[in-house]
């Protein structure tokens, strides 16, 4: 009877969440909090215990996520305004040549989306794929899909982008392992969804590039563009430092000198790695390129707007998780899954897919799925497996973007294509990214 009541609380809580977001158009932050309270009430928690759980869940989540997402947003904003994204894309096109331009755009998207938000990166790089279409007279989709695949995969799979950071924190996964497995899974996934499917659909549907104004071509470009090697090095710094710390702590790299080990642990923590990257970017991509200190302050301050929204939603997701833990609902679900032999990895993917398809937002799908999965993994101490679960959730939250997702309409409007063409290109591609990403994560987890 108690188990039925807890299951009923979880189901009703999720339904309330979807109703508030889809029907009432209430912000995800408030919706997650309301549904969390509903779960607590139905499960029989005392009112003060529910409020204490909200504080506990919010505090436990935001201590890490707010810092990393905030620093990541500032870092990406400086890279964006310096013209770094365009420089990377132009460099890759020059190296690959027009004949291999789709591959160049996939790699550009993969790299640029590490520090820059998906939507911003797409707007910055769109003029480049428009130019390629006009030069080659081939379908715009041949260049757009690889770029979109690179951006989408990195945005979902590889920290310090907000989604995987939030999920990793909620379920307790090591960020270094998430970066490594996200990259291993992400690259072939981007090739399959972007290059292979992009070539297929590009040969089926011919799309001309829409007209762009000179002003749009100048987005993110300064009078003194940065050196591409410098930009790539600055992007690599936090990732390399985090991975180095992870490998050292896991024993893959054996360092006997305690001072060196402590230094690596200090610099390789996501906080200090991103602080260092910000300081370097502030000087090399800001001051040295002619930005004033006031301009840099304004750039970084503006970056806090979208970061703040993600931080609040993530905090509410932490509340939802904590409610499940404190009511015992999470333990009950875990026991039920164990009894029927349903793998946590598959459950993680399935829940994220379900929430993504129903309500549209990948961020909400990732965070809600992480909240549901977190109580199920108390007995999993393997950092590698936890990282694979993060990628499974991310893959599920990428599945089949359609009309209830803002990303669908961004692609639709920016590329100048109709809804049917958007379904055949963008929606199908996100389905391919999702399924292939999950299958690769499952394979890696099974093998290792």
List own/partner pairs for 9-14 with CB under 8 A and 24 or more apart.
9/38, 9/39, 9/40, 9/42, 9/43, 9/327, 9/329, 10/39, 10/324, 10/329, 10/333, 10/372, 12/38, 12/39, 12/42, 13/38, 13/39, 13/42, 13/320, 13/323, 14/355, 14/368
Return d(Cα 67, Cα 312) in angstroms, integer. 12
Domain count, the chain: 1
The pTM (predicted TM-score) of the whole model is 0.84
> In the chain, how long is the greatest CA-to-CA distance?
69
Burial class of residue 66 in the structure, from the number of CB atoms within 10 Å of its CB (0-12 exposed, 13-18 middle, 19+ buried): middle
Of the candidates 169, 141, 143, the one whose C-alpha atom is nearest the C-alpha of residue 66 is 169
pLDDT score recorded for residue 252: 75
Residue 265's contacts (CB-CB under 8 Å, 6 or more residues apart) are 245, 248, 249
- For residues 71 and 113, the answer to whether their CB atoms sit within 8 Å is no
Specify the pLDDT at position 212.
55
What span, in angstroms and rounded, lies between the C-alpha atoms of 141 and 204? 10
CA proximity to 177, closest of 270, 256, 108, 112? 270
Q: Which one, of 265, 261, 253, 303, lies nearest residue 282 by Cα?
A: 303
Q: What would the pLDDT profile of 255-304 be if each residue is shown by its tens digit?
A: 888 898 899 999 999 999 999 999 999 999 999 988 999 999 998 998 88
Q: So what's the pLDDT on residue 375?
A: 82
For residue 419, the enclosing domain spans: 2-447
Question: Is the bond preceding 160 in cis, omega lying within 30 degrees of 0?
Answer: yes
Which segments of the chain have a pLDDT < 70?
1-3, 211-223, 334, 338-340
Predicted confidence at residue 405, as pLDDT, reads 83
The helix-helix angle for 293-327 and 329-340 (nearest 10°) equals 70
**DSSP state, 210?**
P
């Amino acid at each position: 009877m108690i188990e039925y009541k807890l299951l009923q609380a979880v189901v009703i809580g999720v339904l309330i969440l979807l109703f508030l977001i889809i029907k009432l158009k209430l912000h995800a932050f408030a919706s997650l909090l309301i549904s969390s309270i509903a779960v607590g009430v139905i499960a029989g928690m005392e009112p003060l215990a529910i409020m204490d759980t909200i504080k506990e869940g919010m505090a436990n989540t935001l201590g890490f996520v707010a810092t990393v997402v905030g620093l990541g947003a500032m870092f990406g904003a400086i890279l964006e305004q310096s013209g770094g994204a365009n420089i990377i894309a132009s460099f890759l096109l020059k190296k690959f040549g027009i004949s291999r331009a789709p591959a160049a755009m996939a790699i550009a998207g993969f790299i640029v989306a590490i520090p820059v938000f998906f939507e911003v990166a797409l707007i910055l790089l769109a003029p480049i794929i428009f130019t390629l279409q006009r030069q080659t007279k081939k379908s715009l989709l041949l260049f757009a899909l690889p770029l979109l695949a690179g951006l989408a995969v990195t945005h979902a799979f590889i920290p310090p982008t907000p989604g995987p950071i939030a999920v990793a924190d909620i379920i307790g996964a090591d960020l270094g392992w998430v970066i490594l497995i996200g990259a291993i899974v992400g690259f072939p996934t981007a090739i399959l969804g972007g290059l292979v499917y992009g070539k297929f659909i590009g040969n089926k549907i011919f799309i001309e590039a829409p007209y762009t104004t000179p002003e749009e071509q100048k987005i993110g470009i300064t009078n003194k563009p940065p050196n591409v090697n410098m930009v790539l090095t600055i992007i690599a710094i936090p990732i390399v430092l985090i991975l180095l710390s992870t490998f050292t702590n896991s024993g893959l790299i054996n360092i006997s000198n305690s001072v060196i080990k402590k230094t690596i642990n200090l610099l390789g923590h996501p906080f200090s790695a991103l602080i260092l990257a910000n300081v370097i970017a502030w000087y090399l991509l800001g001051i040295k390129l002619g930005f004033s200190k006031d301009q840099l302050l304004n750039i970084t301050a503006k970056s806090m707007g979208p970061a703040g929204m993600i931080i609040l939603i993530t905090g509410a997701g932490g509340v939802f998780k904590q409610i499940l833990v404190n009511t015992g609902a999470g333990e009950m679900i875990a026991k039920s899954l164990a009894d029927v032999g349903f793998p946590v990895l598959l459950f993680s993917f399935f829940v994220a897919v379900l929430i993504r398809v129903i309500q549209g937002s990948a961020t909400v799908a990732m965070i809600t799925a992480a909240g549901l999965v977190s109580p199920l993994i108390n007995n999993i101490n393997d950092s590698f497996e936890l990282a694979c679960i993060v990628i499974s959730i991310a893959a599920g939250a990428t599945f089949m973007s359609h009309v209830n997702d803002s990303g669908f309409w961004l692609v639709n409007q920016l590329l100048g294509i109709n809804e049917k063409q958007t379904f055949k290109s963008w929606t199908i591609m996100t389905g391919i990214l999702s399924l292939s990403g999950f299958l690769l994560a499952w394979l890696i987890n099974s093998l290792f």
